[in-house]
């Protein structure tokens, strides 16, 4: 097996994991009015920003473009799960907050997510999880460097 082949296999495996994870989100978290991915985003908000945050901060944290994130937040706002609070110092900057509706459903959503996460990650011990986390971050940093370099060339 050549090194190029192994790299190709690594990339295909990462892609397959991504596809399978998306399918799992849909199976385990999908609600009547929301996709599994939308629900998992709400779970992220509940866990990391229960008091609210800004779209710009979320972009940096989860690596989604501002345009994509704005569309996602708008859809979840229309469904009554998120709301905005304007910043008196800058009307363009709006804080994204969970609504009462989301807070009321948070217990069940968090339990569903924890079950799914435990099931997916149960095949790894603590050391393997830590190593996987480190390797994933290393790949993300590399992809970010490549993207930054390409933006400079354009």
Domain ranges of the chain: 3-122
Cite the DSSP H helix spans in 2-99: 3-29, 36-48, 55-62, 66-78
Give the CA distances from residue 40 to residues 5, 69, 87, 124, in Å, rounded to whole numbers and listed in that order.
34, 13, 26, 22
Show pLDDT as tens, one digit a residue, over the chain (154 residues): 566 678 999 999 999 999 999 999 999 999 988 999 999 999 999 999 999 999 999 999 998 899 999 999 999 999 999 999 887 777 678 899 999 999 999 999 999 999 999 999 999 999 999 999 999 999 999 988 887 777 666 5
Q: What is the DSSP letter of 64?
A: -
Quote the pLDDT of residue 5: 72
Side-by-side strand order, sheet with 53-54: 53-54, 90-98, 82-87
Closest CA to 39 of 22, 53, 51, 62: 22
pTM for the whole thing?
Answer: 0.86
Quote the pLDDT of residue 90: 73
Quote the pLDDT of residue 89: 76
Q: For 3-122, which CATH class?
A: mainly alpha
Tokens 């901060």 map to which residue? Answer: 57
Q: Helix (H, G, I), strand (E, B), or coil: what is residue 50?
A: coil
């Amino acid at each position: 097996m050549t090194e190029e082949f192994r790299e190709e296999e690594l990339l295909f495996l990462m892609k397959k994991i991504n596809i399978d994870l998306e399918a799992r989100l849909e199976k385990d978290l999908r609600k009547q009015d929301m996709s599994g991915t939308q629900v998992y985003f709400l779970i992220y908000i509940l866990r990391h920003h229960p008091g609210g945050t800004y779209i710009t901060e979320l972009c940096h944290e989860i690596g989604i473009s501002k345009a994509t994130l704005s569309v996602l937040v708008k859809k979840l706002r229309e469904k009554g799960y998120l709301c905005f609070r304007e910043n008196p110092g800058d009307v363009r900057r709006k804080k994204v907050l969970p609504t009462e509706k989301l807070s009321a459903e948070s217990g069940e959503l968090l339990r569903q997510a924890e079950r799914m996460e435990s099931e997916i990650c149960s095949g790894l011990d603590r050391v393997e999880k830590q190593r996987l986390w480190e390797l994933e971050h290393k790949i993300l940093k590399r992809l970010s460097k490549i993207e930054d370099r390409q933006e400079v060339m354009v």
